[in-house]
Amino acid sequence: MFAVTALGELLIDFTDAGTSAAGQKLFERNPGGAPANVLVALERLGMSCAFIGKVGDDMHGEFLRATLVANDVNCDGLVSDPEHFTTLAFVALSEDGERTFSFARKPGADTQLRPEEVDTRIIRNSKVFHVGSLSLTDEPARSATMAALEAAKAAGCVMSYDPNYRSSLWPSAEVASGHMRSIVGYMDLIKISCEECELMCGTTDPQAAAQVLLDQGAKVVCVTLDADGAYVATKDGGATVPSFRVEAVDTTGAGDSFWGGFLCAFVDSRTSPADVTLEDAKGFARFGNAVASLCVRSRGAIPSMPTLAEVEKVLG
């Protein structure tokens, strides 16, 4: 039984690494992709996880598969595609660690997962099923995502969603909003960023946005507030959970590490989504904030995911 299975993109983050002696920009190859980041965060915290998706049958795809295997993520559902190249994301960092993205994905292998390639056996053996929205940008991955959601719902999985909006991968904000909102009705646990509130909910106010998602059926909603922590909401109301203040080196994976920590604490609680109280959710978010505070202290998402012992030290 897997604690969490995730479906979605697995890609290379070429992260800004300064300049060469000749004055040219350098990029460092890091494994990435939001769903994969979440799983590695969970594995480092002691949870058993599986990934479903597609990479190219190329040097980068081999590297990504090896990275997940090295982090104990089950890759039985990871398909290698000889026809399409592994997606690449070039990540530029500002002085305060914030990011801008440029993607090589026309199409990338992650968009080519077909419904018949989704291993529903893995989904049926999972407590939580997690997705983002980047698998909704193109066919056939969009249909594969919908098929996986139906299988997970039928299996009684707890449903988890982090939209992870990337504007350059959508034709327009309106198209993105439509597809991103289309799967909310499946979800029990939802995390959005403060920048995604308007796209997902039609309001820039985190509290109002959380209520919109609760009204649509979600049981627990988190809105991450960058350096200020996270706003969490359940049927009992909402509250802001402050962050652990640190000097950020690279915010790549900050939200993913937070959500990995949140899901870890949720699974450990053995509570059903409908029974999560506001106090429970605040505790889950505090744990997630501790994980994120460690992740942003070094470069790259997956390489920076902390261990449970490191997180417990921060919480202690």
pLDDT value of residue 225: 95
Rounded to two decimals, the pTM is 0.95
In the DSSP assignment, the letter for residue 204 is S
According to DSSP, the residues that pair with 25 across neighbouring strands are 19
How far apart are alpha carbons 230 and 257 in whole angstroms?
13
DSSP 212-255: HHHHTT-SEEEEE-GGG-EEEEETTEEEEE-------S--TTHH
Is the pLDDT at 122 greater than 80? The verdict is yes
- Position 140 confidence tier, pLDDT thresholds 50, 70, 90: very high
Surface-to-core class of residue 102, CB atoms within 10 Å of its CB (0-12 exposed, 13-18 middle, 19+ buried): exposed
Sorting pLDDT into bands at 50, 70 and 90, what band is 252? Answer: confident
Tell me the C-alpha distance between 227 and 250, whole Å. 13
pLDDT at 315 over 90: yes
Q: Which tokens go with 64?
A: 């990504």
- CA-based radius of gyration for the chain: 18
Distance between CA 262 and CA 257 in Å, rounded?
A: 9
Q: CA-CA distance, 254 to 291, in Å (whole number)?
A: 9
Q: How many CA atoms lie within 13 A of 167 on its CB side?
A: 8
Encoding tokens for residue 163? 């939209």
Mean pLDDT of the chain: 95
Quick check: 71 pLDDT over 80?
yes
Overall average pLDDT of the 104-127 stretch: 97
Q: d(Cα 49, Cα 67) in Å, to the nearest integer?
A: 14
**Would you call 184 helix, strand, or coil by DSSP?**
helix
Residue 158 pLDDT more than 80? yes
Q: Is 86 helix (H, G, I), strand (E, B) or coil?
A: coil
pLDDT reported for residue 227: 85
Question: Given pLDDT bands bounded at 50, 70 and 90, which one contains residue 251?
Answer: confident
Inform me whether the pLDDT recorded for 286 exceeds 90. yes
For the chain, the maximum distance between any two Cα atoms, rounded to a whole number of angstroms, is 59
- Confidence band of 248 (pLDDT split at 50, 70, 90): confident
**What pLDDT band is residue 92 in, cutting at 50, 70 and 90?**
confident
CATH 3.40.1190.20 is held by the domain 2-8+33-84+106-315: yes
Quickly state the pLDDT bin for 91 (edges 50, 70, 90).
confident
Inform me whether the pLDDT recorded for 17 exceeds 90: no
Residue 102 vs residue 115, higher pLDDT: 115
| pLDDT value at residue 77 | 98
* Residue spans per domain, the chain: 2-8+33-84+106-315
Average pLDDT over residues 254-266: 97
Q: Is position 76 annotated as part of the catalytic site?
A: no
Which is the catalytic residue, given 16, 250, 256, 280? 256
Residues 6+ apart with CB under 8 A from 199: 163, 165, 173, 176, 177, 180
Residue written as token pair 């820039």: 204
- So what's the pLDDT on residue 13? 87
**Is 97's pLDDT higher than 70?**
no
Q: Helix, strand or coil for residue 203?
A: coil
Query: What ranges make up the beta strands (E) of 96-164?
Result: 99-104, 126-131, 158-161
Strands 189-193 and 220-224: parallel
The per-residue pLDDT for range 183-228, each reduced to its tens digit, is: 999 999 999 999 999 999 999 999 999 999 999 999 999 999 988 9
pLDDT reported for residue 299 = 74
* Long-range contacts at 236-239 (CB < 8 A, ≥ 24 apart): 236/277, 236/278, 236/279, 237/278, 238/207, 238/210, 238/211, 238/278, 239/278, 239/282
Q: In whole angstroms, give the CA distance from residue 3 to residue 264.
A: 9
CA distance 250 to 126: 31
